[in-house]
Amino acid sequence: MLKLLARIVSPRPAAVDRPPRRRNPDAVVDCAIYRAGLRKPGAVHFAQAKRHRGEFLWLGLHEPDLATMRTVAGVFGLHELLVEQAVEGGHRPAVETNGDVTRLVLRTARYVEHAELTATSEVIDTGDVTLLIGSWFAITVRHGAAGALWPVRQEIEKRPDLLRAGPWAVAYAVANRLVDAYLDVSMQVEHDLERLEEETFATRHSADIAHFYQLKREMVELKRAVLPLQEPLARLLDLTVVPDGLRPYLVDVRGRLARAVDRVAGFDDLLNSILQARLTQVTLEQNNDMRMIAAWAAIAAVPTVGAGIYGMNFTNMPGIDSRYGFSVTIVIVVLVCSGLFWRFKRAGWL
């Protein structure tokens, strides 16, 4: 009986929040072997991959954990620093060589559709992609929702002439895709800026400028993705491991990246100009409000002064004993107030 009462009185233990199970425990998006520019048929697992002459392997990973990356490192002979860097996200664009492996980091960017720009609208979604390029393998590690690489694989598999260049063809294809994404995002942001400019100079506009600062913060995210890539991409062209046949393609990517950089920098200046114009409008609106308040206060002061004077307890005051004193006073107050109203209206204060 006591045990039953204890079960009824004692509260149930709170349910433990368990992390959702991943459908893909090893974080592998795709893994394929390419020979002579063509993908070899059949499924392959990276743990069973072996080096063969004239072939290279492309392993795509999405947010792998440390255990998975250590397994990958054991198969491909990666340095432990590369493993730690690949597990963590949020890296800046960079290129470096560690032994026979080149590490290339690029930021991803995606435009988030929204009905209207508000103080909490998410405009730009960013992530990063780490490429580990070896003599016989290319490993892509993606963090974040932006920058899915399955379209890159589909496109490059239709171009066997590029795939014959080996693992560095993957690096070109990924960089090419992400730079195109920068240009697409910049075009969408340009439309937002146009709508913001129209709203700013419209006849009726909102006094809230929080959405200006929200877009400015989102532009900072885009700048962090686009601008720092210029130096790594230039250094990439100086590496001797890059095949000569891919250099013209990488030069083309660098040229389009320069266009994206110019656009983003120009948008930032334009947003600053629109913001300054809106702040100036807010200041003018506040001045107009203050002038209107001052005008109505001056008009209201006329009857207040009259009532204050004749409200004093004095015997000898003009008009006190007159039959028409009150009426004359009201007429004078109305005329003075009407004159002030006409004057302020003409001056644009009302």
Same domain, yes or no: 73 and 121 = yes
Same domain, yes or no: 175 and 156 = yes
Query: Domains in the chain: how many in total?
Result: 2
CATH number of the domain at 195, please: 3.30.460.20
| % of the chain exceeding 70 in pLDDT | 86
Same domain, yes or no: 205 and 248 = yes
Q: What is the DSSP letter of 311?
A: T
pLDDT score at 142:
93
AA letter at 91: H
Confidence of residue 155 (pLDDT cuts 50, 70, 90): very high
User: Do the domain assignments include residue 15?
Assistant: no
Given a cut of 90, is residue 249 above it in pLDDT?
yes
Tell me how long the chain is: 350
User: Do the domain assignments include residue 60?
Assistant: yes
User: Do the domain assignments include residue 20?
Assistant: no
User: Do the domain assignments include residue 83?
Assistant: yes
Of 258, 282, 306, which residue constitutes the final position of a domain? 282
User: Do the domain assignments include residue 23?
Assistant: no
Spatial separation of the C-alpha atoms in residues 281 and 119, rounded to whole Å: 19
The two three-digit tokens of residue 295, written as one number:
């005008």
pLDDT tens digits, 82-106:
999 999 888 899 999 988 999 999 9
Over residues 120-135, the mean pLDDT reads: 88
User: Do the domain assignments include residue 6?
Assistant: no
Of 233, 259, 282, which residue constitutes the final position of a domain? 282
Over residues 210-223, the mean pLDDT reads: 80
User: Do the domain assignments include residue 142?
Assistant: yes
Same domain, yes or no: 147 and 261 = yes
Spatial separation of the C-alpha atoms in residues 185 and 14, rounded to whole Å: 45
Report CA torsion sign: 285, 286, 290, 296. positive
Over residues 101-127, the mean pLDDT reads: 84
β-pair partners for 103: 96, 132
Same domain, yes or no: 328 and 224 = no
- Residue 26 or residue 83, greater confidence: 83
Given a cut of 70, is residue 256 above it in pLDDT?
yes
Same domain, yes or no: 297 and 204 = no
CB 138 within 8 A of CB 175: no
The two three-digit tokens of residue 317, written as one number:
């005051």
pTM: 0.73
Given a cut of 90, is residue 248 above it in pLDDT?
yes
pLDDT tens digits, 283-310:
777 777 787 887 788 778 878 777 777 7
Helix axes 168-200, 210-226, angle to 10 degrees: 160
pLDDT tens digits, 174-194:
999 999 999 999 888 888 887
User: Average pLDDT over the chain, rounded to whole?
Assistant: 81
Same domain, yes or no: 62 and 135 = yes
pLDDT score at 326:
73
Domain of 295 in residue numbering reads as 288-315+323-347
Same domain, yes or no: 278 and 294 = no
Q: Distances from the Cα of 277 to the Cαs of 3, 79, 198, 212, 282, in angstroms? A: 74, 53, 12, 11, 9
Spatial separation of the C-alpha atoms in residues 131 and 75, rounded to whole Å: 16
pLDDT score at 25:
57
Same domain, yes or no: 183 and 70 = yes
Given a cut of 80, is residue 54 above it in pLDDT?
yes
Same domain, yes or no: 293 and 254 = no
Over residues 48-64, the mean pLDDT reads: 88
Same domain, yes or no: 232 and 298 = no
User: Do the domain assignments include residue 19?
Assistant: no
Confidence of residue 263 (pLDDT cuts 50, 70, 90): confident
Same domain, yes or no: 276 and 296 = no
Over residues 255-270, the mean pLDDT reads: 87
pLDDT score at 159:
92
